[in-house]
Amino acid sequence: MGLDFKDLVVVITGGGGALGRSYALMYGRGGGKVVINDVSKEAAEKVAAEVRQVGGQAAVAVGSVMDGQAIIDVAVKAFGTVHVLINNAGILRDKSFRNMTQKEFDEVYDIHIRGAFYMTKAVWPIFRAQKFGRIVNTSSPAGIYGNGGQTNYSGAKMGLVTFAQVWNAEGVKYNIKANTIAPLAASNMTATVMTPEVLSHLSPEHIAPLVGVLTARNGPDVGGRLFEVGAGFYGEVKWQQSEGHVFKADDSFTPNAVDLAWPKVKDFSKGATFPNKSDGPKMMEIVKLQPTLKPNPQGPAAPTSFKGYTVLITGAGAGLGAAYARYFAKYGANVVVNDINAEAANKVVEEVNRLGGVGLAAVGSVEEPEPIVKACVDKFGTVHALINNAGILRDKAFINTTPELFDSVLNIHVRGSWKMAKAVWPYMYKQQFGRILNTSSPNGVTGVHGQANYGTAKAAIIGFTRALAVEGNKNNIYVNAMCPSAGTAMTATIWTQELLDTFKPDFVAPISAYLASPLCHDNGLIIKAFGGLASQYRWMRTGGYVFPNDRPATPDQLASKWDQVVKVDGRAIFPANAAEARAPITANFSYQKGARL
C-alpha cells in the first residue's frame, strides 16, 4: 500500500513559489485538498489551477504568515479542517553584519520565526481536537552550519529546528508530529546566489517526496527530526556530543588548566553520544566523580593574567553572569557588569574590585545596547570581549503561549544578543581583535516541553553564532556559543544540596572565561558546560540514500528506502560548514540513472 494523501487538507505557506508549488502538485496528485498561501494572489491562483488540473482540490489564502489565523480560517471554511501545515514562507535580507540594519534583522525573523508561530498557533487547537496533525518547518544549510552575510537568516532558520522539536514533544499525546527539512533547491531566493548551471540540478521536485513521507497519514513514525535534502540526496542530520573532559572544580580550574586540556573537550574519537533531553545520569556521575579528581594540571605556561583586558558581560547581576565577572576579576580584568537591576550590578562590581579586577556597572536593557557599550568604552577605552548572557524565562505549554510571551523571550535572547554584538563590533573590527561568547542552552539543542519560546530563541543563537563566526574570522573576531547548566534560585527548590554544591555557576565560569579570552583560537564552536564538564556539540549527517539527479523519486520510492536514509553507519559525515555539507549533494549532479548508496 502506498502513502496516503487522500483528502488530507494541507496548508502551504509561500505556496506560490517553486518549492511550495512542487509540494502542492504532489498532494494534488494524491487526492489532497491544498490551500495555497502567498502574498501574491496571482502566484497562488496559478498554483491552485495546476493542482486542480492534476486531480486535487485547491483554495487560495492570500496574505502574510503574520496573519496566520486568517489563513487557517480560509482553509477551514473551504475544507472543514486542516491536517498538515508546511511552514515554507521565507525571505532573504542578506548583508554583512557591519552593514545590516535592525529592520533587515526584524523582517527575516518576522516571516520565518514569528510567522511560523502564528501559523502553528492557529492550527494547534484543530490538530489537538482531531488527534492528528503534521508540521514541516523549512530550515536551510545556512541555519544548520552558518553562513556569512546571513546573521539574520541563519539564526532564524536554526530556530525553526528546535521550534519543531518542542511542538513534537508537546504534540505526542495528540498524534501531532513535527519535523524540519533543510532543502537545497532552485527557488527565487537561491536564484540570487547560484549559477543557472547549478540550479538546473536542484529541482524542487527532489524535495517534495521528503515532505510527503513526513506528512502522509501512513508515513513512518518520525518526529522532532531534521533532514537535509537536495539533488536526489536524502539524509538525516543529528547533533553529536563529545565525551568531553571533566575538570576538578576547585582553585586549580584556571585558564591555563582549561587551555592545556582543551583538545580533550573537542575529542570525538571515543565516547561520543547523541544528546537527549535529560542530563540526569551524567550529573549523578559527576557528583560521584568530582571528589575523586586530582587538581588540574597547569602546564608549563606562565599563569594567565587578564590585566588590561576589558570584558562586557550582560545579565551579570546574579547567577552565571555574576560568576563570570568574579572569575575574570580574579585574573585582573576590567569587567563591565550589565544588568537591569542597578543594586545587583553594583553589588557585583564591589566583588570584582575586591577580587583584584576593575569593575564598572552599566545598568540597562540589552535591547538598548548603545549606552551600555558607551559606558564601557568611556571607562576603559575599548571592549575586548562580550559575553551575551542576559536572558529570561516565560515557560508555558504552546497552547497557552501568547504572542507577548513568545516575543519577549526572543527579544531579550536573540535580538538582544544581535544588538549587543552589533554595538561592540566596530571597536573589535578597528582593533582587529575580539571575542564574543553567546549563551545558548541544552534546551536549545534538544527542545523540551513548555519552552517553545526559550528553545527556539536558544537555537537561533546557535545559528547566529555560526554565521557571525564566519564573518569575524578574517578580523580575528572569534564567536562561540556555550550551553551551560547550573544551580539557580529556581533549581534550589527541587535540587538536593549535593547537586547545588556540585553544579554551581562558579564551575561553568572557567569555560566561559576561556572562550572569551585571548587564549581561545577556536571559532564557531558550540560548547556544553556544567559541574566541571566541558564537551562539544557538532553535526553528524547520515550517509543517506541517493536517487538519480535527472529522475526525481516519488514519495513511495523514498519511503521504501527510509531505513537507509536514517541509518547511522560508517558512511556518516560531520560537516563543519555549509560547503562540506553541500559537496556530497553536488557530487550527485552527474548521477543520471539507477540508484546507489
Catalytic residue list contains 153: yes
Distance CA 522, CA 265 (A): 12
Q: Which of 157, 248, 282, 422 is catalytic?
A: 157
User: Measured over all CA atoms, what is the biggest interatomic distance in the chain, rounded to whole angstroms?
Assistant: 77
Reported as a single tens digit per residue, the pLDDT across 483-517 is 999 987 656 766 888 889 999 999 999 999 999 99
Angle 452-472/403-410 helices, nearest 10 degrees?
Answer: 30
Closest CA to 20 of 110, 84, 67, 72: 84
pLDDT at 20 over 60: yes
Poorest-pLDDT segment among 52-61, 180-189, 284-293, 454-463 = 180-189
Q: Is 23 a catalytic residue?
A: no
Question: In 257-381, which ranges are E strands?
Answer: 310-313, 334-339, 358-363
User: What are the residue boundaries of the structural domains of the chain, listed by start?
Assistant: 9-239+541-590
Helix, coil or strand: residue 19: helix
Q: What angle do CA 347, 351, 352 make, to 5 degrees?
A: 115
Q: How many residues does the chain have?
A: 597
Q: How many CA atoms lie within 13 A of 505 on its CB side?
A: 17
Residue 239 exposed, middle or buried by CB count within 10 Å (0-12, 13-18, 19+): middle
Catalytic pick among 234, 454, 537, 591? 454
How crowded is the C-beta side of 557, counted as CA atoms within 13 Å? 16
Q: Is the pLDDT of residue 199 over 80?
A: no
Say how many C-beta atoms besides its own lie within 10 A of residue 150's C-beta.
Answer: 31
Return d(Cα 303, Cα 487) in angstroms, integer: 29
Q: How far apart are the first and last CA of the chain?
A: 24
Task: Read off the pLDDT of residues 447-459 as tens digits, 9 standing for 90 and up.
Answer: 999 999 999 999 9
Average pLDDT, the chain: 95
Q: Rounded to whole angstroms, how far apart are CA atoms 158 and 440?
A: 12
Domain covering 9-239+541-590: architecture: 3-Layer(aba) Sandwich (3.40)
Asked whether the predicted pLDDT for residue 422 surpasses 80, the reply is yes
Compute the distance between CA of residue 172 and CA of residue 168 in angstroms, rounded to an integer. 6
| Active-site residue, 46 included | no
Say how far apart CA 501 and CA 533 lie, in whole Å.
14
Q: What is the DSSP letter of 539?
A: E
DSSP-derived pairing of the beta strands 477-484 and 526-530: parallel
Q: Which helix (H) or strand (E) holds 481?
A: strand 477-484
Does residue 65 contact residue 101 with C-beta atoms inside 8 Å? no
Q: Report how far Cα 593 is from the mean position of its chain's Cα atoms.
A: 36
pLDDT in tens, 133-175: 999 999 999 999 999 999 999 999 999 999 999 999 999 999 9
Query: Is the confidence at residue 322, as pLDDT, over 60?
Result: yes
- Find the DSSP H helices in 411-554: 416-431, 442-446, 452-472, 497-502, 509-515
Distance CA 395, CA 406 (A): 9
In three-state secondary structure terms, 545 is strand
Reported as a pLDDT band with limits 50, 70 and 90, residue 117 is very high
State the pLDDT confidence band at 387, using cuts at 50, 70 and 90. Answer: very high
What pLDDT is recorded for position 596? 44
Q: Where are the alpha helices (DSSP H) in 54-188?
A: 68-79, 102-109, 115-130, 141-145, 151-171
| 513-558 confidence digits (pLDDT tens) | 999 999 999 999 999 999 999 999 999 999 999 999 999 999 999 9
> Mapping DSSP to helix (H, G, I), strand (E, B) and coil, where does residue 471 land?
helix
- Whether 329 and 355 have beta carbons less than 8 Å apart is answered as yes
pLDDT at 597: 37
What CA–CA distance (Å, rounded) separates 228 from 234?
6
Q: Could you tell me which of 115, 92, 159, 102 has the C-alpha nearest to residue 464?
A: 159
Say how many CA atoms lie within 13 Å of 436 toward its Cβ. Answer: 33
pLDDT per residue as tens digits for the range 32-91: 999 999 999 999 999 999 999 999 999 999 999 999 999 999 999 999 999 999 999 999
Q: Mean pLDDT, to the nearest integer, of 96-118?
A: 97
pLDDT at 194 over 80: no
Residue found by looking up cell 557588569 in the block:
337
Check residue 595 and give its pLDDT. Answer: 44
Of the candidates 27, 109, 145, 153, the residue annotated as catalytic is 153
Among residues 438, 462, 445, which one has the least CA distance to residue 515? 438
- Confidence band (pLDDT; 50, 70, 90) for 196? confident
What confidence category does residue 579 fall into, taking pLDDT thresholds of 50, 70 and 90? Answer: very high
Measured CA to CA, the distance from residue 48 to residue 57 in angstroms comes to 8
